């Protein structure tokens, strides 16, 4: 447990430029507090003390605004930035060095029993407001864009955006071994589509204008020919 606490402090210090000291992280970071409570609640959950575990997790939710079910399995170095309204379900599994921003949900899609929440790989970034729903795997080094709704497996190194979520980049320029936190600079497939449509419309307008000019010249030539014939 103490090794986990150390890794979470290191995660905050390494990924949040606003963190000025270890003491500030310990006293002022709700994501760190939520993980401390979760470690204790998970200990009770594994020993089938379910009521005690849920009471601890609900107290943590009241204190931090972050809801982590005590059954969730969380690796080392998780960083929950800001954290308000983050929800992590009972059968969710989170790997090492994952970053989750405010409003994200790792949830289920129905009333099925057993594994019903996602498995998150190592070094994954889940941006603000993203919803990852269902029992599937998000591969290592994947990035989930802000507001995306992910309903199916995500391959390693992929970038997912949109509703429903779709892969728009895979194994892009990523330096091996580093966590890519540039979640504010993701591709926008809808904007790209509109740009293509605008280019096509402009090309059609230019083509139509050329045809109209050629038709006007042709008509002028015909009129001149008719005048000469009449004379």
Q: C-alpha 138: how far from its chain's center? A: 11
Q: Tell me how far apart the alpha carbons of residues 144 and 150 are, in angstroms, rounded to a whole number.
A: 8
Residue 176 or 70, more confident: 70
CB-count exposure of residue 171 (10 Å: 0-12, 13-18, 19+)? exposed
pLDDT tens sequence across 47-100: 999 999 999 999 999 999 999 999 999 999 899 998 899 999 999 999 999 999
């Amino acid at each position: 447990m103490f090794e986990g606490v150390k890794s979470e402090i290191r995660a905050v210090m390494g990924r949040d430029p606003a963190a000025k000291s270890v003491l500030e992280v310990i006293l002022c970071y709700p994501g760190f507090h939520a993980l401390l409570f979760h470690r204790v609640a998970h200990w009770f959950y594994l020993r089938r003390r379910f009521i005690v575990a849920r009471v601890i997790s609900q107290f943590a939710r009241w204190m931090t605004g972050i809801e982590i079910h005590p059954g969730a399995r969380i690796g080392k170095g998780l960083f929950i930035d800001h954290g308000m309204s983050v929800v992590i379900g009972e059968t969710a599994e989170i790997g090492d060095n994952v970053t989750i921003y405010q409003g994200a949900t790792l949830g289920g899609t129905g009333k099925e029993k057993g594994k019903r929440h996602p498995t998150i790989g190592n070094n994954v970034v889940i941006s603000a407001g993203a919803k990852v729903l269902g029992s599937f795997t998000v591969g290592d080094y994947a990035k989930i864009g802000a507001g995306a709704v992910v309903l199916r497996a995500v391959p390693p190194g992929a970038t997912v955006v949109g509703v429903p979520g779709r892969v728009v980049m895979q194994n892009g320029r990523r330096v091996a071994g580093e966590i890519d936190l540039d979640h504010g600079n993701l591709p926008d497939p809808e904007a790209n589509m509109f740009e293509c449509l605008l280019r096509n419309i402009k090309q059609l307008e230019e083509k139509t204008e050329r045809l109209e000019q050629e038709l006007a010249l042709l008509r002028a030539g015909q009129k001149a020919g008719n005048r000469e014939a009449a004379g």
